[in-house]
Structure 1
Amino acid sequence: MLDRNEAVRSSLAQRYAQVRRFSETLCKPLAIEDYGLQVVVEASPPKWHLAHVSWFFETFLLRPFLSGYQVFHPRFEYLFNSYYEQTGTGFWPRPERGLLSRPTVAEVYDYRRHVDGAMERLIAQCPEADWPEVERRLLIGINHEQQHQELLLTDIKRHFAHNPLRPLYRTDLPVAEPASPAPLRWLEYEGGLIEVGAQGPGFYYDNEGPRHRVFVAPFRIADRLVTNGEYLAFIQDGGYQKVAFWLADGWAQVKREGWRAPLYWEERDGEWWVMTLGGMRPLDPAEPICHLSFYEADAYATWAGKRLPTEFEWEHVAASQPLAGHFVEDGWLHPRAAPPGDGIKQLFGDVWEWTGSAYRPYPGYRSAPGALGEYNGKFMCYQMVLRGGSCATARDHIRPTYRNFFYPHERWQFMGLRLAEDCA
């Protein structure tokens, strides 16, 4: 019978192996030519993702904690570092990740096998004195790889949408039967002094804490996400032509980029179609709107006479709800229409929900020392918070306190919105 320490190590070893396998499962539908694509700066090649997450384990676990560890290749620490300045190695420029034909895809998979074998030894043989820090970093690494699994899917979609052939990532993805949108209802919350943020046992990122109290005024929140059909009404009312709905930076972005619809929408003979990981499909008016920037979400809310919820309002609502929704394990890889019934819906999964909150540190927050402290803290400027996960998020990766963050102009992730308003 395993003692508690052995059981913890065995459980983490199994989870590590499962997460590593899933990254490779996500890449099985790809052709060899797909692995090196990078059509825009923000979307990295699949080959880079597979190597970078291995670099993470090698850099933060194997090199400092596994005695006698030999790196797979001495230049990989430079090629596959993303943004960590304090490792001292520098990093290959992000816009040029797609310019590297070497290492080959086969070499990247060999790199993964090399790292996996060493990680198996580390988990089994790590001295007790080192284990608490190894366990902490291992959990970060596993969750880090899950983040890159979502990026793999969203980046592949971005790459494929650039191709006029509109290739399919997978031919077997299910398609929901068209349904009538659920009527939008409003749920009222009293507000008051509430507690937000993570604490206690279980994994969470440093940016989710410390737990603290905030005051929330009484508010109402929509029971479901905004749909394609509702957003289409905004477009048909000239939403992309009327400056009054837009923040100044958003309006400048609309003019600069020529936006007239969400990312991946195409108008064909007066009908709207949308690019999915299963190819082009007719726009379903009941599905949640997605691939919106913060600017578009905010403009829609202004047009509708509402606003985006704050991240604290969202968490206050989500904290008492079951973690239910459509996640990557469900295999749709596309948001689904809200189910019928009363109560709050779609808080988790389907699409990340833009909030009206800037991504800033909580009171008392301190970044961890060293390079790992760069994971979240140094990005707490000029970005906005999203909550709830998406159809490309792993179910065991999300929680009510999870704070995602992106720049307000970005929209290649599964990003949507829910409306809120102040109580009179």
Structure 2
Amino acid sequence: MDNLLLSRLQFATTTSIHFLFVTLTLGLVLFVAGMQTMYVITGNPVYRRMTKFWGKIYVVNYAVGIVTGLVMEFQFGLNWSGLSKVTGNVFGVPLALETVIAFFAEATFLGMWIFGWDRIRRGVHLALIWLVALTAYVSTFWIMVANAFLQHPVGYEIRGDQAYLTDFGALLTNSSLTDTLLHVISAAVLAGGLFVAGVSAWHFIKRTTEADLFRRSMRWGLITAVIGALGVIHWGFLQEVVIEQNQPAKLARLHPEPGSLAAVQQALAQQFGPGDWAPPSWIAVPYQIMMNSSFLMLLVLLVLVVLLFRNWVVRLRVPLYVLVAMVPLPFVAVIAGWLVREVGRQPWTVYGLLTTEKAVSDLPAAVVLISFVGFTLVLGTLAVVDYLLIVRFVRKGPDDELFGSTLDRVSAERAGVHTF
């Protein structure tokens, strides 16, 4: 294996693992904020317990995900120095903003929320979790701004051999940004909803004593997952209009028709010179996985939402097992979609501006192999740790002690006594 292939494999592996954390984090934070809002409005202690149960899982996933994000940032300088050198003045701006938000603002608000239980006013404490949610989505926005530049570079000019930012507004209105951002957000909402519904279903399978808590959680999860699935499909298809304009070879691979790719290749050869400017044909496979699994999830979820009537989801039992089995599907679809978007712009790192071959660092293949193995082991271990911790807290059930409640207060809430 050469330097280029190893660097691409390393980036694909680490990004895929990191994206799993991000997807669940973005999905869960909305549930935690929404449940705490209901607690503050109604005073019903079951919403407090819901907030703390799902909040524990959110905090664990967020904490481990932050570490994987650090590895992602490190790779740009290590493996892709050509990208940093040529487009760092443009590409680095949204990345820097994302870093400031994710590692400072978001983490600060989350820390205050974790340690603020029963120590600060309820309204202020509620505002903190909504600020966590807001900064999480603002952070996602800046990441997608950076990624949209790679897909369709705008707002820059070349001086010498470097790109310089000339129009910040053009980055924010990039045609490759809006639909993709909403598609990613919808995927996170779908993943979070199915996760909450699936975990709740598992507790019903195990004959939980917290029926009220998990019944409410399941309803929230199923209804939210339907909204997410509809958004995924809607914004996903809208992206194809932009892809046809900006990356016609990708669309020709996704929807192969006789002669279409040859015509696109001829047009691209006139634009960029002789060469093969089409992505690999296998991207059609993850595209089909993403698309078909999205439709499957939507159809099943619509049936399950109907079965919420008179609690048939729980009474029939079979839907509970279906929900548990569906939990991994959004994450499979997310990775498939990422492969389509990123591999689909090959052989470019910055489409039409910088090829992947020129973007990679000039490192010996042995060095890249060592970093590939090392990063994969670290991130793989973190993923396993994250999974084991989540499973542990899921099995343990709604135990409020993590966020500092006294045992007396926990007992009071389980007895249905309102405490503020």
Which has more helix, going by share of residues?
2
Q: TM-score over 0.5 for the alignment?
A: no
Relative CO higher for 1 or 2, CA cutoff 8 Å, sep ≥ 6? 2
Structure number with greater Rg is: 2
- TM normalised by structure 1 equals 0.29
- TM normalised by structure 2 equals 0.30
Which has more strand, going by share of residues?
1
